[in-house]
Amino acid sequence: MNRSNSILGDKDACYAVFCAHDTRFDGRVFVGVMSTGIYCRPVCRVKTPKFEHCSFYGNAAAAEAAGFRPCLKCRPELAPGLSAMDTSKRLAGQAAFRIAKDGLFDRSLANLASSLNVTDRHLRRVFMAEFGISPVQYLQTRRLLLAKSLLTDTRLPVSQVALTAGFGSLRRFNDLFKCHYRLPPTALRKTVSVRKQAVEQEITLRLGYRPPYRWDEILSFLAVRAIPGVESATENVYRRTVSMQSGNTCVRGWMSVQNDSRKNQLLVTFSPSLMPSVSELLARVRVLFDLDCEPLEIYDRLSVMNEFAAGLCVPGTRLPGCFDPFEMAVRAVLGQQITVKAARTLAMRLAVAFGEQAETPYGDLTVFFPSAETVCRLPGRIEDQFGPIGITGMKARSILALGRAMASGSIALSRYADPETEMAKLMALPGIGPWTAQYIAMRGLSWPDAFPHTDYGVKKALRDMPEKEILKISEAWRPWRSYATMNLWRSLS
């Protein structure tokens, strides 16, 4: 059940959350203060308003629809979002994720509904039932909050901010901003301190998360699997080259991510060339670093693991997602029955042989990983293309089949795709069995309940327990078995 929905009906409980600055409810409950007309996050450190002046909302868009404008101190645009297991209606969650991801820049609500195989009327009804607002209101709030973040954290021209956030015209942006926030965009910059940065070289934005966050562990996980030339994870920083579609064009550049543990935020720095797809970029970072996770709720359920072995489960464990689903899926295929290090070497060879060169300020980021479309366009037999770099014929055919399926859209690896359906499609491809499908579900679909029970590390952590017993004991870990798997792997290190 959505924790915010369970508490919103109890105003006393909501007020207690704000008095305690409870981080567990950050992004799940917002307070509108009638005496100021401002809405805040639970973590806000301004003077606590009087109980009778407060009203409570389950999301930022609902607070704005009620006439409140965002606090300049706690910045609601930085609040974590909802995790995949929280939405009672998966359709509404999938629509919200897609709106946040691409801002509907290139399609209408009717197109979005069609892509989800429902009518726009049904989508509006389900969305309203789940979030208490319409999809259009949600989209408008997402755009305004993205614009507010760009105005606060960058020195981009206001006209570029408006365009990047998805507004069709500067006039429309100015009118909406003044209507909702009671000040023009230029005035916002006079009320906040904008960090000086060389806009021509890099841009930095912030994304919030709920503590505890085991940053060192997720960075270590990514570092071991990082594809040389494409990504790196050293000295508290994750970096990678980036290639994304923006409409009919491809935008390319680089990004780096650091942890600001004092503020429970990640700092996302990227090249200005990626600005046309900034919504997509930030959505992918949220998935990669599992920023919408409810760590304490998950630990409450998985703490039973400690009955098997003390310290087997710890709070704050995250499920590493992926930035590029095709890249991650290829990496999973390459990793079948070989070491992590060997799979990493093969992925590097594939990137160097078939990816395009990248120019970045970092000497260890030199190439873009080839897309599914690039692999599908390779001439001749795929075995003849991949064989010289050490990839076996079976794995080459698996990667080609995977590329064709993803390029055509017949397989969709995204956070809100149906996991059972997509895993069945994956296992119908040559060379992809249950372990690979479960691993791709964990990272490519961000599915919280995937469980590769045949994995060597899982078996070792559970003292070589028979597979039937492993599946039986894992029933107590539902619906968070992906997080249980991460804890099992962590225990081995």
Q: Which residues are catalytic?
A: 40, 455
- Side-chain-side CA neighbours of 460 within 13 Å: the count stands at 9
Please give the Cα distance from 403 to 268 (Å, whole number).
29
> 350 near 400, Cβ under 8 Å?
no
Amino acid symbol at 402: L
Could you tell me what percentage of the chain is helix, strand and coil, using 3-state DSSP and rounding each to the nearest 5? Answer: 50, 10, 40
The first and second tokens of residue 367, run together, are 């190439």
Please give the Cα distance from 435 to 422 (Å, whole number).
14
Please give the Cα distance from 88 to 107 (Å, whole number).
26
Please give the Cα distance from 183 to 192 (Å, whole number).
13
Please give the Cα distance from 359 to 367 (Å, whole number).
8
Max intra-chain CA distance, the chain: 73
Rounded to the nearest 5 degrees, what angle is found at the Cα of 64, between the Cα atoms of 6 and 169? 140
Provide φ and ψ at 418, rounded to 5°: -70, 115
Please give the Cα distance from 96 to 475 (Å, whole number).
30
Please give the Cα distance from 420 to 441 (Å, whole number).
9
Please give the Cα distance from 108 to 260 (Å, whole number).
37
Please give the Cα distance from 453 to 468 (Å, whole number).
9
> 252 near 277, Cβ under 8 Å?
no
Q: Identify the DSSP state of 129.
A: H
* Unique residue bearing structure tokens 């597979």: 467
* Unique residue bearing structure tokens 């726009």: 120
DSSP string covering 430-476, please?
TT--HHHHHHHHHHTS--TT---TT-HHHHHHTTT--HHHHHHHHGG
Radius of gyration in angstroms for the set of CA atoms belonging to the chain, rounded to a whole number? 23
* Unique residue bearing structure tokens 């045949």: 454
β-pair type (265-270, 231-234): unpaired
3-class SS at 67?
Answer: coil
Q: Please tell me whether the peptide bond between 479 and the residue prior to it is cis, using omega within 30 degrees of 0.
A: yes
Q: Which helix (H) or strand (E) holds 268?
A: strand 265-270
Please give the Cα distance from 189 to 148 (Å, whole number).
9
The first and second tokens of residue 481, run together, are 């078995």
Q: How many CB atoms lie within 10 A of CB 235?
A: 7
